[in-house]
Amino acid sequence: MSIQVGQSLPHATLHEGTPKTTVDPAVAFGSGKHVLFAVPGAFTPGCDRTHLPGYIADHQALRDKGVDSIACVAVNDAFVMDAWGKAHDAAGKVRMLADPDASFTKALGLQVEAAALGGTRSQRYAMIIEDGVVTHLQVEPDGFGLSCSLAPSIAQILG
């Protein structure tokens, strides 16, 4: 069963930039309003051409709606996520968080087996987190599509 609206984010170890820089999402998103979105894989077509670029383009509009931070998570290593963020000029706009062993993704119950991507990956989703609690969760119906988890959908929810 996946995480539900009204539940707190689980503690986990994500990496930002390098494996030595760890982030606990329960702490990082424990205060304020945040948008966290997940992709099946860095540099994959839908993620690279649509999902991440949309959040980068709309980062200021989301912040204007009261969002303190925006973060992207994927079951990739920290170096891949860092390179992907640099390729899209994400610094200061979207935090690039790696979940190399899928432990956070599994704790959320949002994992999917994707043999074409090498095994366990994250379903594509976006959530709004307020003071560590999930207030909205948009999971793509097939786990991979590009509709309800995109930046414009989250902006609409934020009003």
100: phi > 0 → left, psi -120 to 50 → alpha, else beta; which?
A: alpha
- How would you classify the pairing of strands 111-114 and 14-16? unpaired
Q: Which two tokens stand for residue 56?
A: 């980068």
DSSP 20-49: EEEE-HHHHTSSSEEEEEEES-TT-HHIII
58, 150 contact by CB (below 8 A): no
The answer to whether residues 94 and 71 touch, using CB atoms and an 8 Å cutoff, is yes
* Annotated active-site residue in 3, 47, 73, 150: 47
User: What angle (nearest 5°) sits at the alpha carbon of residue 143, between those of residues 118 and 116?
Assistant: 20
CA 61 – CA 159 distance, rounded (Å): 11
Q: Is 47 a catalytic residue?
A: yes
Catalytic residue set? 47
